[in-house]
Amino acid sequence: MTLCNKVMVVDDSRVNLKIIDLILRRAGYETVLVADSGSVLKAVRDSDPCLILLDIDMPGLSGLEICRQLKESDDCSHIPVIFVTGNTDDATIKKAFALGGRDYVRKPVNEVELLARMLAVSVQLELTERLKYEEKMSGILELAGTICHEFNQPLQVILGSAELLLQKLPVGATGRTLAETIVNQTCKLGEINRKLMNITTYEHKLYIGNSRIVDLEKASTR
């Protein structure tokens, strides 16, 4: 399981930034520290963190407003936000979750609580991504099964007809080369059909113009 390793910490207090930075670095995280609430979105786009620890009460933009902007941004909305705050009244916490926050940690920060909540959020996101992958994989397998079923009968008819034609055409006869080509290419189609039937994973490869297609070779051999 691949968990988060780059964390952005947003707090207008330099002292709080240093404390959280020390905790995270000691735990093996890479950190990006932001003290200016107005520069958070740019910093997020520049550094691409996998998790944001966000203070709520800051001059300028509040953490709640920053979270709202993050969740409305196509390139930032996927990043989970954990609020780090001394303001834990019910109305504030309710709004924090409504705006897309995943969790919150009280100030002053407790190291064990902070790391545990970060790990829980990372694991939850990883499991969510795995579930999406499995659902996508299930759809691909169903589609592959349908395609194989529909292709198999006409392929067998074409192959059988071409082989029968070969039997009736002597070597050097007009049309024999064409019949041999039909047999060979139909066999190749049959091999593709077999690979579709044996798909066990979902992997892409680059195709013409940097488009992406399913890599049948890897998908059918793992």
CATH topology of domain 6-109: Rossmann fold (3.40.50)
Higher-confidence residue of 197 and 13: namely 13
> Looking at residue 217, what is its pLDDT?
67
User: What pLDDT, on the 0 to 100 scale, is given for residue 108?
Assistant: 93
Specify the pLDDT at position 172.
Answer: 80
Q: Which two tokens stand for residue 172?
A: 């050097």
Chain region(s) in the chain for CATH 3.40.50.2300: 6-109
Higher pLDDT, 108 or 145: 108
How many angstroms separate the CA atoms of 82 and 47, rounded?
Answer: 17
Contacts of 201 (CB under 8 A, 6+ apart): 137, 218, 219, 222
For the segment 24-49, the average pLDDT, to the nearest whole number, is: 95
pTM given for the model: 0.65
Q: How is 50-115 classified by DSSP, letter by letter?
A: SEEEEESS-SSS-HHHHHHHHHHSTTTTTS-EEEEES---HHHHHHHHHTT--EEEESSPPHHHHH
Model pLDDT, residue 39: 94
End-to-end CA distance of the chain: 19
Q: What are 74-116's pLDDT values in tens digits? A: 999 999 999 999 888 899 999 999 999 999 999 999 999 999 9
Can you give the pLDDT at residue 103?
Answer: 95
Average pLDDT of the residues of the chain: 86
Q: Please give the CATH topology (third level) of the domain spanning 132-219.
A: Helix Hairpins (1.10.287)
According to the per-residue pLDDT averaged within each range, which of 45-59, 122-136, 154-168 is highest?
45-59
pLDDT in tens, 176-188: 888 889 989 998 8
The listed range with the strongest mean pLDDT (121-135, 177-191, 204-218) is 177-191
The answer to whether residue 141 scores a pLDDT higher than 80 is no
Domain span(s) for CATH 1.10.287.130 in the chain: 132-219
